[in-house]
Amino acid sequence: MNGGGRERGRLTGSQEIEAAQIRARVAWLYFIGGLTQQDIADQLGLTRLRINKILGQVRSDGSVFIDIRLPMADCVEAEQRLKERFGLDAVTVVPALPDEAEQQRVIGEAAGALLDTLLENGMGVGVGWGKTLAAGLKRVTARPMTQSWVTSVMGGLTRGSGSSTFEVATGYARAMSAECYYLAAPLYFPTPESRTMLLSHHGIRETMRRARAVDVALLSCGDMTARSLLVQTQTVDENLDSLRAAGAVGDLLGVFLDAEGRPVDHPLNERVLSLAPHELTPVRYSILASGGLYKVPIVRAILRAGYVKRFVTDERCAAALLEN
């Protein structure tokens, strides 16, 4: 019986990482950042009693000795520097992992945990697509939020993978027991005129209205390599050379951006069905979840432009963003 109890109480790998991050954040903010216990409690959304307990633990177990020796301390320092560098409200940096798929999963779960702390009944939640955001579903506490709604904020692809706009939006809506709205149309249209025509449809028009009114937006971004599912599509692949020539370093919501975060002058950007990046600026809680060294150019562009205020990434990506 006792063995079974220990098994049920064992933390998963992601929960262990999160617990270690909390300890490291508390220690760094107190011993290096000079914040009071109450300041730390307010910033991290914890009780002062828990802060006091953590500080007692790190003092007694040897985690603090002149400098902080916790393995997450570098991640915590990077979080503070990224907040200052890009004017962000919150940053989560997870440890770097050698496996790319595992790295995506850990970033996604950390983003889901962040989202979970922000959700309130009555909110509108906008979500993008991709494996990272799909992984975040594991960390969203299932609870009835019947006054809330979820909407996709971009059109979809013509094949499913468990991480399409429709599947990801549906997953979050189910976790919240909320109504779901879809941009039930392709991400890119054949012509700007066909896009304009579809936007006159009352259902699509209503979904776009809701997308522009969300309280929370959970997003990822794409680079210009074959790692990007968007680049693997025929529509983008056949335009890849001209997109690069136009200065594109990646996409946010299917809109291709240059190194400063400006939409490039390219026909695809005139045919895309999604929120425009600048429409994210007034969103109360906007979260970008993305990592990997190959995504540094597009992530930097998004942060420079100020499209989002919360950011979840890995320590290698964080270090590259802070290099210059």
Asked if 157 and 44 sit in the same domain, the reply is no
How much is the average pLDDT of 37-46? 90
Same domain for 184 and 87, yes or no, is: yes
Task: Tell me the CATH number at 198.
Answer: 3.40.50.1360
Amino acid letter at 118? L
Do 45 and 175 belong to one domain? no
Domain presence at residue 177? yes
pLDDT at position 4 over 50: no
Q: Is 192 strand, coil or helix?
A: helix
Residue 5 lies in a domain: no
Q: Give the angle subtended at the CA of 233 by the CAs of 232 and 239, to the nearest 5°.
A: 95
Q: Is residue 127 situated within a structural domain?
A: yes
- pLDDT more than 70, % of the chain: 90
Contact 256, 180 (CB under 8 A): no
Same domain, 109 and 57: no
**Do 98 and 17 share a domain, yes or no?**
no
In a domain, 172, yes or no: yes
The answer, yes or no, to whether residue 156 has pLDDT greater than 50, is yes
Question: Between these two residues, 302 and 159, which has the higher pLDDT value?
Answer: 302
Which structural domain range is residue 53 located in? Answer: 13-61
Q: How confident is the model at residue 7 (pLDDT cuts 50, 70, 90)?
A: very low
Angle of helix 37-44 relative to helix 13-27, nearest 10 degrees, comes to 140
pLDDT at 180: 96
Q: Are 267 and 226 in contact (CB under 8 A)?
A: no
Asked, for residue 4, whether it belongs to a domain, the answer is: no
- Average pLDDT over the chain reads 90
Q: For 85-100, what is each residue's pLDDT tens digit? A: 999 999 999 988 888 9
Give a yes or no: residue 3 inside a domain. no
Work out the average pLDDT over 186-203.
94
pLDDT, residue 58, reads 86
Same domain membership, residue 263 and residue 214: yes
Mean per-residue pLDDT, 204-230: 95
Mean pLDDT of 153-170: 82
Q: What is the pLDDT of residues 268-297, one digit of tens each?
A: 999 999 999 999 999 999 999 999 999 999
Total structural domains in the chain?
2
pLDDT confidence tier of residue 162, bands split at 50, 70 and 90: low
167 & 305 share domain: yes
Per the DSSP assignment, residues forming a β-bridge with 255 are: 252
- Model pLDDT, residue 3: 40
pLDDT given for residue 64 in this prediction:
65
Same-domain status, 42 and 190: no
**Residue 44 covered by a domain:** yes
Q: Are residues 225 and 316 in the same domain?
A: yes
Same domain for 134 and 22: no
CATH of the domain at 32: 1.10.10.10
Q: What is the mean pLDDT of residues 144-152?
A: 95
How many beta carbons lie within 10 A of that of residue 162, not counting itself?
Answer: 9
**Final residue of a structural domain among 24, 41, 61:** 61
Q: Quick one: 21 and 165 in the same domain?
A: no
Report the C-alpha gap between 257 and 251 in whole angstroms.
Answer: 6
Residue 299 belongs to a domain: yes
Confidence label for 159 from pLDDT (cuts 50, 70 and 90): low
pLDDT score recorded for residue 33: 63
Same domain assignment for residues 256 and 304: yes
Residue count of the chain: 324
Give the pLDDT band (50/70/90) at residue 60.
Answer: confident
What average pLDDT does this structure show over 101-118?
93
- The 8 Å CB, 24+ separation contacts for 203-209 are 204/273, 206/181, 207/151, 207/152, 207/181, 207/182, 207/183, 208/183, 208/275
